[in-house]
């Protein structure tokens, strides 16, 4: 997915998954990398409202510039397909700046279930 936004705005990026029904997914963790001169995670950078992860415990680690790690877990399994959660970033780069979002890790149930992030 390609997206563009002017500097000084906030962009919200949905993270989507295919059907998780019956897979027993009760936890996930992923890391995304980006150019820290272009994007900066907002203070409340992960939202589960209206997503498959609504009601889950979610932690965000954005201490390392250019990297965000999300960890989420619940006692209830994920059911269905759609938006797992939404990530929000402030656009801080020049109007001509761009950055890819690169998955460096995506694990389901502490990597006990196969996953393929793209």
CATH number for the domain harbouring residue 42: 2.60.40.680
In which domain, by residue range, is 33 found?
A: 10-93+101-108
pLDDT tens profile 78-101:
999 999 999 999 999 888 888 999
Is 25 among the domain residues? yes
Amino acid 68: pLDDT: 97
Overall number of domains in the chain: 1
* Burial class of residue 55, CB neighbours in 10 A (0-12, 13-18, 19+): exposed
Is 115 among the domain residues? no
Q: Which residues contact 75 (CB under 8 A, 6 or more apart)?
A: 26
Q: Which residues contact 117 (CB under 8 A, 6 or more apart)?
A: 30, 103, 106
- List the one residue out of 14, 35, 42 whose CA is nearest residue 100: 35
Is 15 among the domain residues? yes
Q: Which residues of the chain have pLDDT under 70?
A: 1-2, 111-118
Does the pTM surpass 0.85? The reply is: yes
């Amino acid at each position: 997915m390609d997206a563009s936004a002017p500097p000084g705005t906030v962009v919200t990026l949905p993270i989507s998954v295919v059907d998780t029904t019956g897979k027993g997914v009760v936890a996930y963790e992923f890391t995304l990398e980006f150019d820290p001169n272009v994007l900066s995670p907002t203070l409340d950078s992960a939202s589960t409202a209206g997503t498959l992860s609504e009601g889950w415990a979610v932690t965000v680690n954005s201490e390392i510039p250019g990297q965000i790690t999300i960890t989420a877990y619940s006692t209830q399994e994920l059911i269905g397909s759609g938006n797992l959660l939404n990530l929000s970033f402030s656009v801080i780069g020049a109007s001509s700046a761009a950055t890819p979002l690169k998955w460096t890790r995506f694990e389901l149930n502490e990597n006990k279930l196969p996953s393929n992030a793209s």
